[in-house]
Structure 1
Amino acid sequence: MGNVQISQELFMKLIRFHLVEDESCEKEIKQGLEKKLDKMVMRDLYGKFKTAPTEEERERAKKEYLDRRGVPESFRW
């Protein structure tokens, strides 16, 4: 397991939510965490695309990465 960095703003919202029990920022916390998770998934897919041991695995990771990025099939290399 590695470390994950989040913005100071999201961290402060998490503190308010958990320690002060302020539920008014719950929606923003969920959005911030989902955005971070999406970035982590994209980085993982890109890494697999670049370093997969077989050509088939590289192509699969590349396709999934480009699909998630919204790159049209006609624009791909």
Structure 2
Amino acid sequence: MGNVQISQELFMQLLRFHLVEDGSCEKEIKQGLEKKLDRMVMRDLYGKFKTAPTEEERERARKEYLDRRGVPESFRW
């Protein structure tokens, strides 16, 4: 397991939600965590695309990465 960095704003919202039990920021917390998770998945796919041991795995990761990025098939190499 590694460490994950989040913005100070998201951290403060999490503190408010858990320590003060202020539910007013629940939607923002959910959106912030989903955005962070998406970035983590994209980074993982990019890493696999660059370092996978086999050509098949690299190509699979490349396609999934480009699909998630929204790059059209006609624009790909």
When normalised by structure 1's length, the TM-score is 0.99
Paired residues for 1:7-46 under 5 Å: 7-46=7-46
Deviation at residue 71 of structure 1 after TM alignment: 0.1
Query: How many residue pairs align between the two structures?
Result: 77
Deviation at residue 52 of structure 1 after TM alignment: 0.4
Runs of 4+ in structure 1 off by over 4 angstroms are none
Work out the percentage of aligned pairs sharing the same amino acid: 94
In structure 2, stretches of 5+ residues that fail to align are none
Deviation at residue 73 of structure 1 after TM alignment: 0.2
Instruction: Determine the C-alpha separation between the residues in 1 that align with 2:58 and 2:10.
Output: 34
When normalised by structure 2's length, the TM-score is 0.99
In structure 1, stretches of 5+ residues that fail to align are none
